[in-house]
A and B are shown apart, each in its own frame.
Chain A
Amino acid sequence: MEIQVNLDVMMARRKISGGELAEKIGITPANLSILKNNKAKAIRFSTLMALCHELGCQPGDLLEFIDDEPEKGG
């Protein structure tokens, strides 16, 4: 069970490089890489807002809930 960041997909769609995006939203390329590789433990609203603004998308386009646990019976 995890939240998957689909930043690489959106970046490919918008044809924008990591360095360029990092510069535009004001974070380091290292931090963008953490986010892109699903290593991040949390994301600030300000970062999410800047990403959505630059990529012209909704938070739901960037974040996806993956439920790999077996469903509870009931």
Chain B
Amino acid sequence: MKWTEDRSLVLSQICLGLFALLLAALDIGCYWAVGWFISLRNMPWQNGAALMAVIYLCSVFGWLLLNKLWGLLRNMKKGVVFAEENVRRLRCVSWCCAGAAAVCLLGCAFYLPLLFLSMAAGFMALIVRIVKNVFQQAAAMKSELDFTV
């Protein structure tokens, strides 16, 4: 089977859909999952409540991020790649990662291993930000090329 760019984009969209399903499952089952987790670790219920707050706050960033990534893939499918619209989307994705990192960092006060999640999200924010900068430069170059007669 010949692997084409279109199929690769479809695969990315399927993966995005799967992540959306996982996030929805986490949102719905958060109460029970956290209940099971705190009973497993013998944690006080206050820590469980804080963990739930962290999960729901990160979920807000997660949904926003998935929405922006979906828009980015849709634009790429249309052939619109290096555009100002996509730069804005990537900027938003980067801030979503940074937001999740900040929330997880606050959550460290109740559950220390969240520090690793915070670092991972922060690192991801940095990577996406650099990709955003690359897109920004490419969009400016494309605009110049489009208006070269």
| Chain A interface residues (CB < 8 Å from chain B) | 27, 31-32, 34-35, 39-44, 47
Contact = CB atoms under 8 A, between A and B. Distances in A.
Contacts of A34: 147, 149
Contacts of A27: 149
A35 B148 CA distance: 9
Given A40-B149, A44-B149, A47-B149, 12 more contacts: A27-B149, A31-B149, A34-B149, A39-B147, A40-B148, A41-B144, A41-B147, A42-B144, A42-B147, A42-B148, A43-B148, A43-B149
A41 B149 CA distance: 8
Interface in B100-142: none
B144 to A, nearest CB: 5
State the majority secondary structure of interface residues on B: mixed
12 contacts: A31-B149, A32-B149, A34-B147, A34-B149, A39-B147, A40-B147, A40-B149, A41-B143, A41-B147, A42-B148, A44-B148, A44-B149
Nearest to B148: A42
A61 to B, nearest CB: 17
Contacts of B148: 40-44
A32 B147 CA distance: 11
Contacts of B147: 34, 39-42
Contacts of A32: 149
Contacts of A43: 148-149
